[in-house]
Structures are given as structure tokens and as C-alpha cells.
Structure 1
Amino acid sequence: MASSTRVDVEFRVRAGPEVVMAALTDLRRLPEWSALHRNVRIESTDDQGRPIRVALDATFGPIVDRELIEYGWDGIERVNWNVLRSTYLTIQRGSYTLRPDPDGTQVTMALEIEAKFLAPKLMVRGLQLATSKTASKRFKAFAESYAI
């Protein structure tokens, strides 16, 4: 069985935590800042209208992973997610944790994955780190221009 890998990426967004969390909550627009994601469908929301279950396609070149993800929201401080169903992953757990700072918001993204197939851990971790860093840069630009 494959073993899980985890990466943590930290970055600063020049916007307040309310704006950053609003941008994270707007999952219909996820493909605008995450090149891996397509066909986002909100299946259920909580009483505040935040997505709880989301179906989406994650693309890795010609490979398409059809995923069902469950989200949990903790005010404007944290969002976490867990894959409920995936073609290629047994585990995908992640979170964004927000901390206000004088220049906006410090964001920590944590992501743990485990593939259903054997793959060199170093290769998986390298891909995971590269995609996380790219997504964080694109999210930073998205959140800094996000209007609520």
C-alpha cells in the first residue's frame, strides 16, 4: 500500500481574513486559481450557504480524478476538507488556516494525500509541493482582487 505524504505551504495575502475566507468559500470559482480543478458542483451547503459537499474533477494531464469532497468551516479562521470519494486517492485531507497580521492575512495550507497505487514517495511529494506552491500563488492573486 502507498504511504501518505504531507506538505505545508505558508504565504501572505494582502487582504483581511474576511476577504480571504470569502474567496476560499467561493468554490464555484476554484478553477480560476487552481489549474487542476474543473467541473465544480456544489452538492450541499450549510445554513450559512458555505459548501459542505462538492463534486469536482481534478486533472493531472490526461488523468481525470473524479472526487467528492467534504468541507468543514470554522468561522474565518479555518477551512478543512476531506475526500469522500476519489478515483485515484485513498486519502486527501487539507486545510487553510488564517491568521491576521499587520500586512493582511498569513495563510497556512496543509495537504496530505495518499494514492491508491504505488508511486515513489519522493515523486508524489515533489508533485504535491509544486502544485501547492503554484495554487497558493494563484490563490493569493485571486484573494487580493476578490470583492465581497
Structure 2
Amino acid sequence: MRTKTDISFEVQADPSQVMDALMAVEMFAEWSPDFTDARVATRDDAGRPRRVFVQVDISNTPDMQVWEFSWSDHRMSWGVADSTRGIRGGGSFEVTGDTDGSRVLLRVEQHTPIPLPGFLAKRTVRKTYETLVENFTDYAEQFGESETYDLV
């Protein structure tokens, strides 16, 4: 089953703060409803995560995945390089400045081998990403205020 999701949203924080929040991939479980763990395997020359091992719970079933990241000043993108359940896909966060903070565009394309009716899968995936956006917005707006976040 293939699903595509695009969600545009506002974050009341500077774009650099939003990008810093995205770079803290070890904190995915703090704001993503499906993530239970994320560990950086390699970083690029600028110290940004390049290859990350993640554990995702999909329909209450764990999936161990390897994600490959690429970065620019205003964009974080990823692709699933390996998955124990055969999930493929990827996505991106694009961050641009706005008068009151940042405008963020989340794009995700996911291919899952789970045989669900299309309307049910799309509705479930959309709801999950709407929750993720809500959680990420709160997380990014507070990012940097807590000493528990470590970027490196």
C-alpha cells in the first residue's frame, strides 16, 4: 500500500531553531507517535545525522529501520534504506521563514506491505501525521529552552 501525505503548518520559532529541533533525531520519540527509539550511526562533516537506526511501531508491531538523511540550510530529507517489515519510502521537512516564525512543509511517501483498504490506510496515516505535526510544533517551539536536548 502506497500513501502520500503533505501537510503545511506554522511554528512560532525561528527557522534555525526548527532545523536544530529536526537535527536532534535522538529525540524523535519525544514528538513522533510511532517512534520508540532513534540512534545516530554516522554524521556528515557538519555534524548532522547521516545514517540513523530507528524503531517504529506500526499498528503496535515494531519495525527496525535504517534511515539515510540529507540536509541543506532549510531542508531535512530522509529515505528508508532498510526495514525489517519491508517498508520503503521517505520524506522531507522544508522550513522557510515567516513573519511570525516558520512555515514548515512535511512531505512523506510510504510503501507498506500491509494489505489494508486504501481509504482506511490513508485515513490512519493522515491522522498519525497530523498528530506528529501537532507534537513537533510544540517540541520545536520549546526546543533550546530545556537542557535535556543534546545536538551532538
Q: Structure 1: which 5+ residue stretches go unaligned?
A: none
Q: What is the distance in 1 between the residues matched to 2:5 and 2:33? A: 18
Deviation digits for residues 48-97 of structure 1, max 9, x if unmatched? 1110111111013430011100111011x111100011123442210001
Contact 1:53 1:70 in 2 (8 A): yes
Moved over 4 A (4+): none
- Percent sequence identity over aligned pairs: 29
1:27 is matched with: 25
Aligned counterpart, 2:100 = 103
Match 2:54 to one of 53, 56, 79: 56
Task: Write the distance in 1 (CA, Å) between the matches of 2:75 and 2:111.
Answer: 22
Q: Tell me the TM-score normalised to structure 2 length.
A: 0.90
- TM-score by length of structure 1 reads 0.92
- Whichever residue aligns with residue 12 of structure 1, its letter is E
Larger mean CA deviation between 55-64 and 106-115 belongs to 55-64
Given candidates 139, 143, 152, the residue that maps to 1:142 is 139
Does the 8 Å CA contact 1:12/1:105 hold for their aligned counterparts? yes
Aligned residues: 145
Corresponding letter in the other structure for 2:122 = R
Residue 39 of structure 1 corresponds to 37
Q: Could you give the per-residue CA deviations for residues 93-140 of structure 1, whole angstroms, max 9, x where no partner exists?
A: 100011111010000100111112332221221111111100000000
| Alpha-carbon displacement from aligned partner over 1:3-30 (angstroms, at most 9, x marks no partner) | x210101110000100000000000111
